[in-house]
Amino acid sequence: MSEVIKIRRGLDIKLAGKAEKIFMRAEPSEYYAVKPVDFHNLIPKLTVKADNIVKAGTPLFYDKYCPEILFTSPVSGKVIAINRGERRRILEVVIKADPEIQYESFSIGEPSKMSTGEVKENLLKSGLWPMIRQRPYDIIANPEEKPKAIHISAFNTAPLAPDYDFTVKGCEVEFQKGIDALFKLTYGKIHLNINYEYPASQVFTKAQNVQINKFSGPHPAGNVGVQIHNIDPLNKGDLVWYISPQDVIIIGRLFDKGIYDASKVIALTGSEVLKPRYYKLIGGASIRNVLDNNVSEGINRYISGNVLTGTKIHADGYLGYYDSQITVIPEGDHYDFLGWALPGFEKYSASRAFWSWFLPNKMYRMDTNLNGGLRAFVLTGQYEKVFPMDIYPVQLIKAVIIEDIDQMEKLGIYEVAPEDFALCEFVCTSKKDVQAIIRKGLDLMIKEML
Amino acid sequence: MKALRKLLDKLKPQFQKGGKLEKLHSTFDAFETFLYVPNKVTKTGTHIRDYMDMKRTMAIVVFAMLPALIFGMWNVGFQHFLATGEESDILINFLYGFKQVFPIIVVSYVSGLAVEFIFAQIRGHDVNEGFLVTGMLIPLIVPVDVPLWMVAVATVFAVIIGKEVFGGTGMNILNPALTARVFLFFAYPSEMTGTKVWVEGLKYGKDIINGFSGETILSQAAAGNTGFVNGTGEAYTVQDMFFGFIPGSIGETSTLAILVGAAILIYTGLGSWKIIFSVFFGGYFMGLVLNLFAVNPFMEIPALQQLFIGGFAFGAVFMATDPVTAAQTEKGKFIYGFLTGLLAILIRVLNPAYPEGVMMAILLMNVFAPLIDHYVIEANIKKRLSRAEDKYLEK
């Protein structure tokens, strides 16, 4: 397929604070954490205690319902804390890193010459398996199954997202090795979905064993769910896996050097960052060093990920497993006198209800205010404008709310993930928690089906 | 500004759990959120939210109604002084109309909001903003001389039976403003229909020129007239009908003013252009069909003129577009709009009991909207299932 798939519906939110394409070096972090809460539906079983010594690749915990899926440490050092939350739920396993990292050894080899079983074992033992997630349900892939395809979205269209072409620069060999490994895991194709609006990196365009699909359009064109829907929509019973490009590179490094090298390039973004740039760090790092002297005064919200789907963390919190972006925006817990009645030149809206539409090129500094009270569904047609799938979003959400499994199936619950509804949640005039509702719907389906 | 915020912060604890006035929480919250967008931040899901909220939505819809309201006020004065034969100018006409219309607006809002506040308080919910629009719609669709107590009764009826019993804003099946209007139509027909109610003061007969007839164009058409004349016998032109220099309900006469409102609604994304265009198209289509099979003068009225007279334009732009009661799927909106326009003109022309068919057509389509949506969704479901079957067969 060499036609460009044009995504027509969607929205590019004009946020201030995009990262300049400059690499910065920050002091390497002393503290790292792996957070079980990053993995939806996971019940972790610990394999380490406080004060244990670990290497990069040593298991920290495993999945209670699938013990072969291990979660390993990204660095070597000492486990200094296991932080728990309500009802003793494990929030994070914190490690104090050695100045020089020592690595566990895993298999080295050419994935194309290895068997499926060997590739799988290497990924499971090294703790890289959780990088692979599945649709439907948007959870970690099940090693017992084989998907009909694997999708990789080579571009991220979320607000202020890092430019993947920039972050994967120079990693052709590792990327290809990662692809070769993944190729063993599916009985179908690997789809590499690139952004056709700009020339994509050679790392992607020169990759072998992949089918390249071209996309253009506003967010959520970069969402893998939207891409899957436009290439080969999921039916009941279909299984597809997906993974992000930098994680493919980490897999490539595993087979190349036999180690878990969790280095990645992330973007520090947001209106409250004085100099938004790209940083090289190891996954799970504390963000404190990167933020050092680089954030405006005031009460801010620190987000691992982007403003639509990211997780709130503390100023010295840890980068999430799947995230390659940090966003810092102001907290919005202030009152706005007659805010809904005034022209609002500085208020960004997807509608043309505020006079900000007079200024088409402005970038906005948005805070975390809810901007209204929770209401019932009133306006219609809003979600559809930012939801580029042949699925009726409001009706699906209503089916989830009333827990009608049959109707959810018929309306396409298997094809969606919460992140596909993030823009719907953003534009919702009634301030509904759409992503949480969809997550609940997916969890209901998991319970029913598995 | 700061002093106001300090005052509210001081009073707030009394209205919260454990405070003396805990029972009036919803009322306090309604006033507080009217003055200030609250300071709540996002907790789950997206970290930023669009600035658009229900209050802004309702404010813009009311703003879109202002051209029709302002013109309507002027027109009340204009029609009145036409009937008394006195000299007047734009300002006098407007001020006269304002004096007549403003009390109706006040009564509508006060009675409706009172019911909303009471229900919200009993349920422990926030006061919803839906009535901010309904409260302005009701005055625009009644004759100017309607007794104020009737407006109050109709509004209370509409809010309770038309909306609150279903669960409040967002849950109702029938358009609340039309529910009020149709209540008035069936409960107090002599005040709502006939030839004397549409011009201010006509039914009291004081100072009226001899032989002045205050009929609307529709009632003349229903009587079988071939040319339409104003109270003193001069013929109406199509421009009169379009600009609105004709008698009728307060806000419905000026197609131009209504179209300005339509432009505002469509541009800001709050009124569905699909519904508006489909209603006009359906009405025009039926007008053409009637022209084709015309056996009486009413059917002969040119299709375009049908769109300018009566409450058709107002219904198309401000009533049929109510998102809660209209079809909610994008494809369904076309079908819903088209049928509404079609039925409105059909009822108006062919049914002798209803000189105006728009309100009935819209209410009927409100009832059918869920059915239309159902079939649109079913088509989507079928597509998904057959796609799965095709894949299965391919294997």
Q: Do B46 and A426 touch (CB under 8 A)?
A: yes
Contact call for B37 and A340, based on CB within 8 A: yes
Facing B50 at nearest CB: one of A233, A238, A371: A371
Task: List CB contacts of B84: < 8 A, sequence separation 6 or more.
Answer: B201, B207, B208, B209
* Substitution target from B8, B36, B44, B49 for chain A, most A beta carbons within 10 A: B49
Q: Which amino acid is at B110?
A: V
Closest residue on chain A to B45 (Cα): A435
CB atoms A308 and B385 under 8 Å: no
Residue A16 has pLDDT above 90, yes or no: yes
Nearest chain A Cα to B381, which residue? A410
Contact residues, chain B, for A15 at CB < 8 Å: 48
Which of B35, B37, B133 to substitute to test the interface with A, most A CBs within 10 Å?
B37
Nearest CA in chain B to A234: B388
Mutual orientation of helices B330-350 and B358-394 as an angle, nearest 10°?
A: 150
Confidence of residue B395 (pLDDT cuts 50, 70, 90): low
Tell me if B45 and A434 make a contact (CB, 8 A cut-off): yes
Q: B270 CA to chain A: closest CA distance, Å?
A: 8
Minimum CA–CA partner of A384 in chain B: B330
Provide the token pair at B42.
């996002």
The first and second tokens of residue B224, run together, are 């079988």
Each residue of B275-296: pLDDT tens digit? Answer: 999 999 999 999 999 999 988 8
| Distance of alpha carbon A144 from alpha carbon A146, whole angstroms | 7
CA atoms of B319 and B385, how far apart (whole Å): 36
How many angstroms separate the most distant Cα atoms in chain A? 67
pLDDT in tens, A31-71: 999 999 999 989 999 999 999 999 999 999 999 999 999 99
The confidence score (pLDDT) of residue B130 equals: 87
The answer to whether A348 contacts B50, with C-beta atoms less than 8 Å apart, is yes
List of E strands, A146-246: 149-153, 189-195, 211-216, 240-242
Which among B130, B268, B323 is the nearest to A380, CB-wise? B323
Task: Give me the residue from A370, A372, A411 closest to B41, CB to CB.
Answer: A370
- For residue A429, the chain B residue with the least C-alpha distance is B53
Q: What is the pLDDT of residues B54-89, one digit of tens each?
A: 889 999 999 999 999 999 999 999 988 888 888 888
Write down the mean pLDDT value for chain B: 90
Q: CA torsion sign, A309 to A315 to A321 to A325?
A: positive
Q: What confidence tens digit (pLDDT) does each residue in A117-157 have?
A: 999 999 999 999 999 999 999 999 999 999 999 999 999 99
- Rounded to whole angstroms, the Cα distance separating B128 from B217 reads 38
Q: Give me the pLDDT at residue B2, please.
A: 80
On the question of pLDDT at A1 being above 60, the answer is no
Residue of B nearest to A11 (CA): B50
- C-beta atoms of B383 and A390 within 8 A: yes
Chain A nearest-CA residue for B170: A378
B90-123 and B131-140 helices cross at what angle (nearest 10)? 140
Q: Measure A387 CA to nearest chain B CA, in Å.
A: 13
Out of A349, A369, A436, whose CB is closest to B52? A349
Cβ-based neighbours of A299, under 8 Å, separated by 6 or more = A330, A331, A333
Do the Cβ atoms of B52 and A353 come within 8 Å? Answer: yes
Closest-approach residue (CA) in chain A for B167: A376
On chain B, the residues whose CB falls within 8 A of the CB of A235 are: 384, 387-388, 391
The whole-angstrom separation of Cα B65 and Cα B254 is 12
Reference B55, options B127, B135, B129; nearest CA is B129
Distance CA B77, CA B81 (A): 6
Kindly state the average pLDDT of the residues A190-196.
94
Mutate to test the interface with B, among A14, A308, A378 (most CBs of B within 10 A): A378
| A412·B54 Cβ contact <8 A | no
Task: State whether B323 and A329 contact (CB < 8 Å).
Answer: no
Residues in chain A with CB shorter than 8 Å from the CB of B390 are none
pLDDT digits (tens, 9 = 90+) for B167-226: 888 899 999 999 999 999 999 988 888 777 888 887 777 777 777 777 888 888 888 777
Best A160, A302, A335 member to test B by mutation, with max B CBs in 10 Å, is: A335
Nearest residue of B to residue A428, measured between CA atoms: B50
- On the 0-12 / 13-18 / 19+ scale of CB atoms within 10 A, A37 is middle
- Here the ipTM equals 0.91
Neighbours of B109 (CB within 10 A): 18
The reply to whether residue A378 touches residue B324, judged by beta carbons under 8 angstroms, is yes
C-alpha–C-alpha distance, residues A417 and A139, integer Å: 10
Local confidence band at A359 (pLDDT 50, 70, 90 cut-offs): confident
B368 C-beta neighbours (distance < 10 Å), count:
15
B149's tokens: 């107590």
Backbone CA torsion sign across A369, A370, A372, A373: negative
Does the beta-carbon distance from B44 to A436 stay under 8 Å?
A: yes
Whether B387 and A341 lie within 8 Å, measured CB to CB: no
Q: For residue A352, give the nearest of B4, B38, B269 by CB distance.
A: B269
